[in-house]
Amino acid sequence: MTKTAFIGLGAMGAPMAGHLHRAGLLAAVWNRSRDKAERFVVEHPGAALPQTLGELAAQAEIVLICVSADDDLRAVVEQIEPGLRAGSIVVDHSTVAPATAREIASRLSARDVQFVDAPVTGGVEGAIHGRLAIMAGGEAETLARLEPVFAAYGKLWRHLGPAGAGQSAKAVNQLIVAGVAEAVCEALALVEKLGLPPEAMLELLGGGAAGSWFLEKRGRTMLADSFETGFAPALLLKDLKICRALTEEAGFASSILGPAVADYQRLVDAGETGKDISALIRQKRRG
């Protein structure tokens, strides 16, 4: 049976690694904050916690990574390289720039190691329930080898082209996410301003053409001013800046990105402590 190792046990990574454990595919885990990894292995008997990333890579055929940013990914890849063998596969589930994915694919190719950039979408809920959508760039033959792995936590995965294609697709996804978040947060702030009954409005909006995943999953918590679960504003801001660079490179004018980047920059600069992008409603309430 395929042996995998998972690096990055955050809000998304921990449940993804848990699904691999339940499928009998997980050999080892690692996290920058070691206490998280120690708790994980206690709760998932049989998963090892090596002392170094090189040791972790040596225990697996497939190494999966889920970290926050480009430099984090580069640092992890550098540390796992001594343990990688020819024929190994490294899968990056982080959201980084397509150029970074291509850079790492080239670096690992020199070691006869395959690289797949495979960012995910579906939120924390999708990770918990094993219902993520996976956007993959790399060799088609490599992706075929990954099907049992992706099946553990994904509901859908597609090969989109060479290395970097997955990250380009994720930028498109985040453009939609930002546009929907802008509209829903602004609309619900207006619901409050007009004194409309919130519960009735959530039912009506969700039951018609204005319905969306974001409204369904975040509407009630937004109106309750609760932002404890989800996707951190600082991470979306990072993703939108990647998307902005891509649109500029492509000569594509986006009417969404400018306002969204500005709004989330203000939110982050104000020291927003909410753990979900729906905290943007706090900016919208201020007008």
Tokens of 87: 């024929």
Do 21 and 44 contact (CB within 8 A), yes or no?
yes
Whether residue 275 lies in the annotated active site: no
Q: Using the CB atoms, write b or e for 121-160: b if 16+ within 10 Å.
A: bbbbebbbebebbbbbbbbeebbebbeebbebbbeebebb
- Type of residue found at 26: L
Catalytic, out of 3, 36, 155, 170: 170
Cα separation, 37 vs 197, whole angstroms: 45
- Tokens 């993703």 identify what position? 239
**Distance between CA atoms of residues 214 and 182, nearest Å:** 11
Distance set, CA 147 to CA 56, 65, 262 (Å): 22, 16, 39
Separation CA 277–CA 123 (nearest Å): 11
DSSP 152-176: HHEEEEEEEESTTHHHHHHHHHHHH
Q: Report the chain's C-alpha Rg in angstroms.
A: 20
Contacts (Cβ under 8 Å, ≥6 apart) of 266: 283
Q: Which residues pair with 7 in a beta bridge?
A: 30, 65
Active site residues: 170
